[in-house]
Amino acid sequence: MEARSKLIAVVVVIVAVAASATAVLMVFNKSADLMNSEFRVIVTGSMDGESRTEYEIETIPINSLVAVHKLKGNGAEDVKVGDVIGFYSPSLNGNIYHRVISIDPGSRTFTTKGDANTTMEYVGFDEANGIVVNVNHPAGEVVAFVKANILYLVIIVVLFFVMISAVSSLIRLWKE
């Protein structure tokens, strides 16, 4: 029985460390680098337009979790019309993810536009820093909820562990 308790304790510690690391990354709006990809939550509706079935990424609803493959070196050369790319916006102090609507190889620029926007942006090949490769709206809603309620969730988790500890102590006392 003791070996089982130690195993449970190790699993609890691993889960707690992973959850803590994830919470810290989310609070500071960062993402872990996983095999040259990162995950971001889309916080605006600029890509939440009509579904574009002719493209791999049809639309990106607000609060969607997106997987972004980082573009390094000449990676921007592989971007094609219809792809959703990321580029840094100093005014927002963060990335914007918009669809490529045209490419000018001569000037090495992409013309991008949010599906729900009317204005276009011109992005140099060297300014594009990622390409969206997957969208998961339900997972993004969960992340957005956790991010908005992190303090409450931490309190609930702490209370849960206090309760488990108290019940465990009571069971030990009862067995004696």
Enumerate helices (H) and strands (E) in the chain, giving the number of each: 3, 7
Q: What is the mean pLDDT of residues 63-77?
A: 87
pLDDT at residue 85 greater than cutoff 70:
yes
Q: What is the mean pLDDT of residues 115-121?
A: 94
Q: What is the mean pLDDT of residues 122-149?
A: 90
- Give the containing element (helix H, strand E) for 5: helix 2-27
Q: What is the mean pLDDT of residues 59-69?
A: 94
Under 8 Å between Cβ of 131 and 67: no
Q: In what order do the strands lie in the sheet with 37-41?
A: 37-41, 65-70, 128-136, 84-89, 94-104, 109-113, 121-124
Q: What is the pLDDT of residue 143?
A: 83
Q: What is the mean pLDDT of residues 73-96?
A: 90
Of the listed ranges 13-17, 73-77, 80-84, the least confidently predicted one is: 13-17
pLDDT at residue 150 greater than cutoff 90:
no
| Nearest in space to 134 (alpha carbons), one of 106, 97, 107, 169 | 97
| Nearest in space to 34 (alpha carbons), one of 124, 143, 134, 115 | 134
Structural domain boundaries in the chain: 33-145
* CB burial readout 96-128, b (16+ within 10 A) else e: bbbbbeebeeeeebbbbbbbebeeebebebebb
Between strands 128-136 and 65-70, the pairing is: antiparallel
CATH architecture of 33-145: Ribbon (2.10)
78 in helix, strand or coil? helix
Encode pLDDT of 7-56 as tens digits: 777 777 777 666 666 656 655 555 655 678 888 999 999 999 888 788 99
